[in-house]
């Protein structure tokens, strides 16, 4: 086979219309073979002829898209020294843009013998391994553009490509559970009607099924087990053709962009699917184990693990950093995605041992002209020492605010002494983000996410029910801050059902109307349940999927969600770009402060009032005339003013409307205790209005 020297850049397989250039980084290799596979599985091996700066490369004329390939790396094997080369193992290209097939967990995939772990395993892994695929990089984007919606206008919908669409009766069966299914008009119509501006997709980078799950007849449903950082997951493609998942993913992004919906990817750059020292040799381990992974100091046979998955990528190695940055740029420039949510992002900050917000990774992101301009969302924790870093990421970043989730859950289930922190979370968590000049939208607010209870289960279960996972209840969070409203699980008790519905409305209204960026979990708007399972990572079945037929009985909650999202969209006072000051805005005629907190008596809250352990009711005035920032065109922004009256107690509370300086009359805009009641008479200043137990009343200033 004809082989030319080719180029050391770009890494991976690059088709130029006449042939394909292959390039692979490895510092330890003594020889690298490129392995090409025919349709019948016949393998042809070709030595890469050139090496520059530890990159082995070669150009093969006439090798075209659809070609399956892999590498075999010849080099030292000494696990005790962290060296794990074994040419018997076919290795995936870390820069491959697509993969075909899956692994079958045969012993040949491991570089040691099961019955003698200290002996090398020379069985050929190729018949049992996935294959890398050369792709066609050309695609008609049809003038596609990034929506580039501001954070303050963003409403995020966390979704699973398969779980959201696999049971939708109006999507053609052959594309359910795929990128094409998510791009179907009925799915986009649902997102648009809900007011969603961005979908945050759970991992779509190519991942591998875990061995222990396969043995139990389960699957890795969530996908936090990445093996390919450039390739869309092949099982989410409706086409069985090699490399077609790339075109289908691009078509999905194009369709969502045409609907003015952004695409954010949940990405896992902290570890790979190769696991610990007993894991398979699939790619990085056999290419250059010491370069890609953090090894234990003084014991390089073992991996330093801050992720709980067996290994951690070596974030201080320049080629690991290059891999991640190349991947991020690829998904923005070639796949047109609009942002990333970084799983266990504290691990990315561990340049050495401690979490360092000024580590090399964040330096690279900060100066990168492409990556720095998209949405960057951190999951600000990992399982290592000092890993909980909510509020501590650099100013360019936003964060999943776990403190928001915990506080809002505690408030609405009636926990004592939550009022002060609840007020802070409602107004954008300035205690976490203001000191480093971040804005309220640095807080990605959520009450539920993929990890934990759904909204329906949050109000239906006190305890997790993860029996289907087969782990004896050891998996999943045990302290859920949930409340079942009186009985565990499903019930026919009409009072309990009514209370649960009201609590769901409380959570949704609080979430959507808080300062910051709201994130809604897919299906919560239709009361999706997982039967009390709070860790469905291995449930690729009806337990985790959205049941659209059942959900259609819950249209009332969907309509409520649509209504409260519309209220946020129409009123900038709920999505401010700067924190409240608690004082009148300079240069305005209004002598009333931009925010004021009231006791149910109508008096302003004092310092001691916040410390009352049993205080569970509070009112807040949001001054629409005191929005200090201009809009995108530099025009002054003003809005209606609102009063939100929260009552998390089990008794009704009579709220006295504040004096006329704040407004002489108030219209009831929304009542979570009576969402269908319309056209109530205005409430005058100084008069009382009753707020039902465990409810939120939203009032707009009439005049």
Task: Judge contact between 434 and 579, C-beta under 8 A.
Answer: yes
pLDDT tens, residue by residue, 146-158: 999 999 999 999 9
In this structure, of 234-243, 555-564, 611-620, the range with the lowest mean pLDDT score is 234-243
Q: Which residues partner with 596 through β-bridges? A: 621
Indicate which residues carry an active-site annotation.
Answer: 343, 379
State residue 551's pLDDT score.
Answer: 64
Angle between helices 402-412 and 419-426 (to 10 degrees): 130
Residue reference for tokens 């409305």: 505
Indicate whether 44 pLDDT > 60: yes
State residue 316's pLDDT score.
Answer: 87
State the Cα–Cα distance between residues 221 and 235, nearest whole angstrom: 11
Name the band, by pLDDT with cuts 50, 70 and 90, for residue 73: very high
State residue 414's pLDDT score.
Answer: 96
pLDDT tens, residue by residue, 672-695: 999 988 888 999 999 999 999 999
SS3 label, residue 201: strand
Taking the model in full, what pTM does it have? 0.96
Angle between helices 185-194 and 555-570 (to 10 degrees): 60
Helices (H), ranges, 441-545: 455-458, 494-513
Mean local confidence (pLDDT), 663-677: 94
Give the residue among 428, 424, 367, 421 at the shortest CA–CA distance from 394: 367
pLDDT tens, residue by residue, 476-529: 999 999 999 999 999 999 999 999 999 999 999 999 999 999 999 999 999 999
Indicate whether 631 pLDDT > 80: no
> What is the side-by-side strand order in the sheet with 55-61?
12-15, 19-25, 55-61, 50-52
Task: Work out the percent of the chain whose per-residue pLDDT is above 90.
Answer: 86
pLDDT tens, residue by residue, 10-31: 999 999 999 999 999 999 999 9
Task: Judge contact between 127 and 41, C-beta under 8 A.
Answer: yes
State residue 584's pLDDT score.
Answer: 66
Q: How many CB atoms lie within 10 A of CB 391?
A: 19
Mean local confidence (pLDDT), 236-259: 93
Mean local confidence (pLDDT), 421-430: 97
Mean pLDDT value across the chain: 94
Mean local confidence (pLDDT), 379-386: 76
Phi/psi of residue 690, nearest 5 degrees: -90, 130
Look at the domain 155-277+314-573 and name its fold: TIM Barrel (3.20.20)
Locate the domains of the chain by residue range: 155-277+314-573
Indicate whether 655 pLDDT > 90: yes
> Between the CA of residue 415 and those of 382, 615, 672, what are the distances in Å?
27, 10, 20
State residue 356's pLDDT score.
Answer: 61
- Identify the residue with better confidence: 65 or 356: 65
State residue 393's pLDDT score.
Answer: 87
State the Cα–Cα distance between residues 522 and 199, nearest whole angstrom: 9
State the Cα–Cα distance between residues 8 and 23, nearest whole angstrom: 6
Phi/psi of residue 302, nearest 5 degrees: -110, 160
State the Cα–Cα distance between residues 331 and 371, nearest whole angstrom: 10
Dihedral angle computed from the Cα positions of residues 659, 662, 667 and 670, in that order, rounded to the nearest 10 degrees: -110
Name the band, by pLDDT with cuts 50, 70 and 90, for residue 104: very high
Indicate whether 628 pLDDT > 80: no
pLDDT tens, residue by residue, 330-354: 999 999 999 999 998 887 776 555 6
pLDDT tens, residue by residue, 159-199: 999 999 999 999 999 999 999 999 999 999 999 999 999 99
Indicate whether 384 pLDDT > 90: no
Contacts of 382 (CB under 8 A, 6+ apart): 270, 306, 307, 344, 345, 346, 347, 350
Task: Judge contact between 476 and 499, C-beta under 8 A.
Answer: no
- Bond into 10 cis (ω within 30): yes
Name the band, by pLDDT with cuts 50, 70 and 90, for residue 590: low
H or E segment and range at residue 412? helix 402-412
State residue 565's pLDDT score.
Answer: 98
State residue 574's pLDDT score.
Answer: 97
State the Cα–Cα distance between residues 116 and 137, nearest whole angstrom: 45
């Amino acid at each position: 086979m004809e082989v030319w020297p080719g180029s050391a850049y770009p890494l991976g397989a690059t088709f130029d219309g006449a042939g394909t250039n292959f390039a692979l980084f490895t510092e330890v290799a003594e020889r690298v073979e490129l392995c090409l596979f025919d349709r019948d599985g016949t393998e042809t091996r070709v030595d890469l002829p050139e090496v520059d700066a530890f990159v082995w490369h070669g150009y093969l004329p006439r090798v075209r898209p659809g070609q399956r390939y892999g590498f075999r790396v010849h080099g030292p094997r000494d696990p005790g020294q962290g060296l794990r080369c074994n040419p018997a193992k076919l290795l995936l290209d870390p820069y491959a843009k697509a993969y075909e097939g899956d692994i079958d967990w045969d012993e040949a995939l491991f570089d040691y013998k099961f019955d003698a772990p200290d002996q090398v395993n020379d069985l050929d892994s190729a018949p049992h391994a996935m294959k890398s695929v050369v792709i066609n990089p050309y695609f008609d984007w049809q003038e596609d553009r990034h929506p580039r919606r501001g954070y303050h206008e963003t409403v995020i919908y966390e979704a699973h490509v398969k779980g959201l669409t696999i049971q939708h009766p109006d999507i053609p069966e052959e594309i359910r559970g795929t990128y094409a299914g998510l791009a179907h008009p009925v799915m986009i119509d649902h997102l648009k009607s809900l007011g969603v501006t961005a979908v945050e997709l759970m991992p779509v980078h190519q991942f591998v099924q875990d061995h222990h799950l396969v043995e139990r007849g389960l699957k890795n449903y969530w996908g936090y087990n990445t093996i390919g950082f450039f390739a869309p997951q092949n099982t989410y493609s409706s086409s069985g053709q090699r490399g077609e998942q790339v075109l289908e993913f691009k078509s999905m992004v194009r369709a969502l962009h045409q609907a003015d919906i952004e695409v954010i990817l949940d990405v896992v750059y902290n570890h790979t699917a190769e696991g610990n020292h007993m894991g398979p040799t699939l790619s990085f381990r056999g290419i250059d184990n010491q370069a890609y992974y953090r090894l234990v100091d003084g014991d390089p046979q073992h991996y330093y693990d801050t992720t709980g998955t067996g290994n951690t990528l070596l974030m201080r190695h320049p080629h690991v950093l290059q891999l991640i940055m190349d991947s991020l740029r690829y998904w923005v420039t070639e796949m047109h995605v609009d942002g990333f949510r970084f799983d266990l992002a504290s691990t990315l900050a561990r340049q050495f041992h401690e979490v360092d917000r000024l580590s090399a990774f964040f330096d690279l992101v900060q100066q990168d002209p492409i990556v720095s301009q998209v949405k960057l969302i951190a999951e600000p924790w990992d399982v290592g020492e000092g890993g909980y870093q909510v509020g501590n990421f650099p100013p360019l970043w936003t964060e999943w605010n776990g403190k928001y989730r915990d506080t809002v859950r505690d408030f609405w289930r009636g926990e004592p002494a939550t009022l002060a922190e609840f007020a802070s979370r409602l107004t954008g968590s300035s205690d976490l983000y203001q000191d480093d000049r971040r804005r309220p939208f640095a807080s990605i607010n959520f009450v539920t996410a993929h990890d934990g209870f759904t909204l329906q289960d949050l109000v239906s279960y006190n305890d997790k029910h993860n029996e289907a996972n087969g782990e004896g209840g050891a998996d999943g969070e045990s302290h859920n801050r949930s409340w079942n409203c009186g009985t565990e699980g499903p019930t026919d008790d009409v009072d309990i059902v009514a209370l649960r519905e009201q609590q769901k409305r409380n959570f949704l209204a609080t979430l959507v109307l808080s300062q910051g960026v709201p994130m809604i979990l897919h299906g919560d708007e239709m009361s999706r349940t997982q039967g009390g399972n709070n860790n469905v990572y291995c449930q690729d079945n009806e337990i985790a999927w959205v049941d659209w037929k059942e959900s259609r009985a819950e249209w009332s909650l969907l309509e409520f969600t649509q209504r409260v999202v519309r209220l946020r969209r129409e009123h900038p006072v709920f999505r401010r770009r700067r924190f409240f000051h608690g004082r009148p805005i300079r240069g305005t005629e209004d002598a009333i402060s931009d925010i004021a907190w009231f006791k149910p008596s109508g008096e302003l809250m004092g310092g001691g009032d916040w410390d009352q352990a049993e205080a569970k009711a509070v009112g807040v005035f949001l001054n629409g005339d005191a929005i200090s920032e201009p809009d995108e065109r530099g025009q002054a922004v003003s809005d209606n003013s609102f009063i939100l009256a929260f009552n998390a107690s089990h008794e009704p509370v009579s709220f006295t409307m504040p004096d006329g300086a704040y407004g002489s009359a108030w219209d009831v805009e929304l009542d979570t205790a009576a969402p269908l009641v319309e056209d109530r008479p205005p409430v005058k200043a100084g008069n009382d209005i009753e707020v039902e137990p465990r409810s939120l009343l939203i009032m707009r200033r009439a005049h």
